[in-house]
Amino acid sequence: MTSISTQPIVELRHVQRRFMKDRQVIPVIQDIDLSVYPREILCIVGESGCGKTTTGKMIAGLLNQSEGDILVDGRPIDSYKGKEAAVLRRSLQIVHQDPFASLNPAHTIEQILSFPLQRHGLVNGRAELRRRIWELLTMVDLTPPGDIVHKFPHQLSGGQRQRVSIARALTVNPRLIVADEAVSMVDVSIRIGILKMLHRLRDELKVAIVFITHDLALAKYFAWEGRIAVMYLGRIVEIGRTPDVIANPAHPYTKALIAAVPEADPERTRHKEQVPLRSEEIPKLTDIPPGCAFHPRCNFFQPGRCDTLIPILTPVSEGHQLVACTPLTEDGHLTPYVEPPTVIGTLADQHRQKTNDMT
């Protein structure tokens, strides 16, 4: 496993982010502590609406925090001014989920890649500009570049557009790239190719990647040599090295997510641990339950503790696996409530039911 530097590129300390909607405060991010280290792969995983994208945008410097501190190279992000701020913006880049929405439809691929190179003075003259564009397109496996540069985004496939988005992020030589659901809108047959390309770019360019996804199987594949952070309703409930989290999940929500991942082998499915839930209802951000936000759905619910105490991330293994769960014992095991309320099913059961309802 690749070792990571002890000095983070970006560090979030007790960060909160609130939005206003219809005169109501929405606490999208609540007290997050998170660090991203040079050259590492960090995957943020969770269901839709848990705050993954907001966290990614704050890491990339696109959103300010409501409370807490965001540090870049040990300095508050808002202390960077003038030329330093410009260098900071170049070092933190983001690849959005929908490449068709993030690429200017009126510009050719050549124009899209030319703008940041010229804007930041990274090339001298037309010949060097052309050479750099050709180099970038080759790096993201869009070859031959001559077949791509004069096309508009709508003339490319979804996978090609996303590769252009990645090439655009690379124009400014970033140290960290946030890939926000970067393959969710791409055909399944093309996803693995893009993920392998991101791995190669990380190794060749020594860039850190924050990979955001709702697909735990994808997270497991992409971040196996890195770390994984599991989010639920604006909080990180578990974080650690990916093999540790996948093999020995400690938080009930992580256990439920892993149990819901479909297996190709029917035999493995039969022997897979099923994680029961007390409720299928996901609370809204406008009405987050007190204490642990997962307690209304958790089969390890302990009255008087889980519904009153907000758990903090606590080490449970030598691999620096951290878990936020009140019923967790010192040896990293869960103590279920003696008389758990009626169980309505697992996450996998709920997903199957939703599929049946739509068909």
Angstrom CA distances, 106 to 101, 115, 153, stand at 12, 13, 8
Q: Which residue has the higher pLDDT, 261 or 220?
A: 220
Q: Which residue has the higher pLDDT, 114 or 321?
A: 114
Note whether 36 and 176 are within 8 A (CB): yes
- Judge: domain 10-105+173-242, CATH 1.10.10.1100: no
The rounded distance, in Å, linking the Cα atoms of 326 and 305 is: 7
- The pLDDT of residue 353 is 55
Angstrom CA distances, 65 to 19, 59, 255, 276, stand at 10, 10, 30, 36
Mapping DSSP to helix (H, G, I), strand (E, B) and coil, where does residue 67 land?
strand
Confidence (pTM): 0.87
pLDDT tens digits, one per residue of 226-277:
999 999 999 999 999 999 999 889 899 999 998 888 776 677 666 677 777 8
- The pLDDT of residue 22 is 84
Indicate the angle between helix axes 109-119 and 125-139, nearest 10 degrees: 120
Q: Please say if the pLDDT value at position 62 is more than 70.
A: yes
Cα 251 to the center of its chain, rounded Å: 18
Q: Which residue has the higher pLDDT, 5 or 69?
A: 69
**DSSP string computed for 256-274:** HHHHHS--SSHHHHHHSPP
Cα 337 to the center of its chain, rounded Å: 32
The rounded distance, in Å, linking the Cα atoms of 121 and 115 is: 10
CA angle 83, 89, 94 (to 5 degrees): 170
Q: Residue 347: phi, psi to the nearest 5?
A: -60, -40
The rounded distance, in Å, linking the Cα atoms of 321 and 313 is: 9
pLDDT tens digits, one per residue of 2-18:
445 589 999 999 999 99
Q: Where are the domains of the chain?
A: 10-105+173-242, 249-359
Strands (DSSP E) contained in the chain are: 10-21, 24-36, 41-45, 67-72, 75-76, 92-95, 176-180, 208-213, 227-232, 235-241, 314-315, 322-323
Q: Percent of the chain beyond pLDDT 90? A: 66
**DSSP string computed for 16-34:** EEEEEETTEEEEEEEEEEE
pLDDT tens digits, one per residue of 108-132:
999 999 999 999 999 999 999 999 9
Per-residue pLDDT band at 170 (split at 50, 70, 90): very high
